[in-house]
């Protein structure tokens, strides 16, 4: 008969599953009674006067001033894109028409 505890042998999975949890382990779904680990953002949030850790991002209610500012900046962005595409296109068309007229009149 072979010994299952030899090097390279895997333990019996049923023995691991049937093993009882340690006596000091909390029941499943129950919070542990020990002190909680500090949250990674806790140090950065304390100087801002927050009582609980704050995770950056997420959905919040935007004040009307911020909504108006975002709309204004969005319009400015669209205007800049239109100008950056439109001005070179317009100048190219003007130069093309100028070349056509110069070739037609010079012939």
The dihedral sign for the CA sequence 89, 91, 92, 96? positive
pLDDT of residue 61: 74
Q: Is 17 left (phi over 0), alpha (psi -120 to 50) or beta?
A: alpha
pLDDT of residue 20: 64
pLDDT of residue 91: 97
Whether 13 is covered by a domain: the verdict is no
| Mean pLDDT of successive 10-residue stretches along the chain, which has 107 residues | 57 62 61 59 61 62 87 97 98 95 78
- Answering whether pTM is above 0.75, one says no
Q: How many structural domains are present in the chain?
A: 1
Whether 85 is covered by a domain: the verdict is yes
Whether 29 is covered by a domain: the verdict is no
Domain of residue 71, residue span: 65-107
Whether 96 is covered by a domain: the verdict is yes
Whether 19 is covered by a domain: the verdict is no
Interatomic CA distance for residues 35 and 30, integer angstroms: 14
Whether 107 is covered by a domain: the verdict is yes
Whether 24 is covered by a domain: the verdict is no
């Amino acid at each position: 008969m072979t010994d299952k505890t030899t090097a390279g042998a895997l333990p019996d999975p049923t023995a691991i599953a049937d093993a009882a949890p340690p006596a000091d382990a909390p029941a499943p779904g129950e919070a542990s009674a020990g002190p909680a680990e500090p949250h990674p953002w806790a140090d950065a949030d304390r100087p801002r006067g927050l009582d609980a850790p704050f995770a950056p991002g997420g959905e919040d209610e935007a004040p009307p001033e911020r909504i108006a500012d975002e709309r204004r900046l969005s319009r400015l962005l669209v205007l800049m894109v239109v100008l950056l595409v439109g001005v070179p296109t317009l100048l190219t068309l003007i130069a093309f028409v100028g070349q056509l007229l110069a070739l037609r009149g010079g012939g």
